[in-house]
């Protein structure tokens, strides 16, 4: 069976580094996207074990599942909910809501009043990402809404940077000032805004002055940071599967689809039940956000065509190259002159975000 192995010691290392770098700021662990592929429940358990007291999700179903599985820590839903049933479910499961518009707040207030539960919520502010949230300049709208709600307690306020991951960033300072100015104005009006947080992984590492009361960290906890990794974070995640068959292929024969590889000599191959349906070989290369970045993308694309990436399986500390294309559910590796047997386990390093959620996760 193909399995995603997750190194528990490396993950603990990443969590502990994050807590140290956060200093006096609270760490809000973002576990969206099935915990970036690591498995929602497995990684949430490890986070809580290591002293993380607040988890953040972007889907209500994830928050409810965590509660059903016995998680008692603070859980924030970073996406707004508008339907009465979703608001009720959030309140009954003690989930901190995100209020992104006046209508969102008014609906939450009404439901909280109707069912007699004091809601807890964070105000979401748009300082330049153009996604969820009140416009930062609409101070009066935010103040009036907070003041009008008797059954919703505001326990935090947050925003999100748009370009903190880029080296040539001209927006982060502007967004940070917009956010902190808004917080100051609301405080001056006598409004308790609770925990302030705007820094996610990139800003947390690149601009430590933006940490404020809390930081939202996701990918760094999993060892994947969008800048030079000088912090000791360790990427984790290996696809593992047993060798399911071994064959001897004569010289001059094709291996795999498309005649992409022809044997130069007699070759012993092993068939491994891992393919691109499991996430191997999938990668994001088109990350252009500006026209000036297009040449870099074209260069990367041409390079990948001229010199396709070679993947290697690892067994007992030795690497074995994949021959030909990776198939949907299997691939072939060159094990000539090795003593690998059917049933032996081989592994491939992989970014877990690309691994299908149906693949079993194993923490050790």
For range 322-334, the mean pLDDT: 96
Query: In angstroms, what CA-CA distances link 203 with 24, 252, 266?
Result: 16, 53, 53
Residue 161 pLDDT class (50, 70, 90 cuts): very high
Residue 6 to residue 140: CA distance in whole angstroms:
48
Identify whether residues 352 and 203 lie together within a single domain: no
pLDDT of residue 282: 83
- pLDDT given for residue 302 in this prediction: 47
Each residue's pLDDT tens digit, 195-238? 999 999 999 999 999 999 999 999 999 998 888 889 999 999 99
Structure confidence by residue, pLDDT tens digits, 172-185: 999 999 999 999 99
Task: Return all residues near 174 (Cβ < 8 A) that are at least 6 apart.
Answer: 127, 128
The tally of domains found in the chain comes to 2
Q: How many CA atoms lie less than 13 Å away from 199 in the CB half-sphere?
A: 23
Residue 214 lies in a domain: yes
From residue 58, how far is each of 25, 90, 190 by CA, in Å? 22, 13, 30
- Give strand pairing partners of 125: 134
Q: Are residues 213 and 92 in the same domain?
A: yes
The predicted model scores a pTM of 0.89
Per-residue model confidence as pLDDT tens digits over 59-78: 999 999 999 999 999 999 99
* Matching residue, tokens 């094990």: 335
| 215 lies in some domain | yes
pLDDT surpassing 70 at residue 284:
no
Q: 356 lies in a domain?
A: yes
Give pLDDT, residue 309.
77
At which of 158, 191, 222 does a domain end? 222
Q: Are residues 300 and 181 in the same domain?
A: no
Using an 8 Å Cβ cutoff, are 174 and 162 in contact?
A: no
Whether residues 11 and 74 fall in one domain: yes
* Longest Cα separation, the chain: 81
From 171, 187, 222, the end of a domain falls on 222
| 186 and 53 part of one domain | yes
Is pLDDT above 90 for 134? yes
Q: What is the pLDDT of residue 308?
A: 56
Dihedral pair phi/psi, residue 253, rounded to 5°: -100, 150
Token code pair at residue 172: 């982060």
Distance between CA atoms of 84 and 16, rounded to whole angstroms?
Answer: 39
User: Per the domain annotation, does 209 fall within a domain?
Assistant: yes
How far from the centroid of its chain's Cα atoms is residue 75's Cα? 16
Domain that holds residue 88: 3-222
The residue-averaged pLDDT of 298-322 equals 73
Domain boundary, last residue among 197, 222, 247: 222
């Amino acid at each position: 069976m193909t399995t995603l192995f997750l190194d528990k010691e490396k993950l603990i290392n990443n969590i502990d580094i994050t807590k140290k770098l956060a200093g006096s700021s609270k760490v809000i662990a973002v576990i969206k996207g099935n915990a970036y592929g690591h498995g929602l429940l497995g990684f949430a358990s490890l986070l809580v074990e290591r002293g993380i007291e607040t988890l953040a999700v972007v889907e209500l179903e994830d928050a409810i599942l965590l509660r059903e599985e016995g998680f008692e820590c603070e859980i924030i839903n970073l996406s707004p909910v508008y339907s009465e049933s979703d608001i009720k479910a959030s309140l009954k499961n003690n989930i901190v809501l995100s209020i992104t518009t006046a209508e969102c707040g008014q609906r939450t207030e009404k439901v909280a009043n109707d069912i007699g539960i004091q809601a807890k919520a964070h105000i979401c502010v748009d300082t330049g990402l153009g996604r969820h949230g009140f416009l930062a300049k609409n101070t009066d709208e935010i103040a009036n809404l907070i003041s009008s709600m008797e059954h919703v307690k505001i326990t935090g306020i947050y925003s999100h940077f748009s370009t903190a991951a880029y080296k040539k960033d001209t927006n982060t300072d502007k967004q940070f000032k917009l956010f902190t100015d808004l917080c100051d104005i609301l405080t001056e009006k006598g409004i308790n805004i609770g925990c302030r947080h705007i820094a996610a992984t990139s800003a947390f590492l690149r601009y430590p002055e933006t940490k404020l009361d809390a930081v939202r960290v996701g990918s760094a906890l999993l060892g994947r940071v969008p800048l030079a990794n000088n912090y000791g974070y360790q990427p984790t995640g290996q696809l593992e599967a047993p060798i399911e068959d071994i064959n001897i292929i004569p010289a001059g024969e094709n291996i795999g689809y498309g005649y992409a590889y022809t044997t130069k000599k007699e070759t012993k191959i092993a068939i491994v039940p891992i393919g691109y349906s499991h996430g191997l070989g999938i990668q994001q290369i088109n990350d252009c956000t500006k026209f000036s970045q297009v040449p870099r993308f074209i260069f990367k694309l041409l390079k990948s065509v001229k010199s396709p990436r070679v993947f290697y399986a690892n067994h007992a500390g030795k690497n074995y190259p994949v021959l030909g294309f990776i198939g949907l559910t299997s691939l072939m590796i060159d094990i000539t002159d090795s003593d690998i047997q059917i049933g032996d386990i081989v592994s491939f390093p992989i970014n877990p975000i690309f691994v299908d959620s149906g693949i079993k996760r194993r923490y050790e």
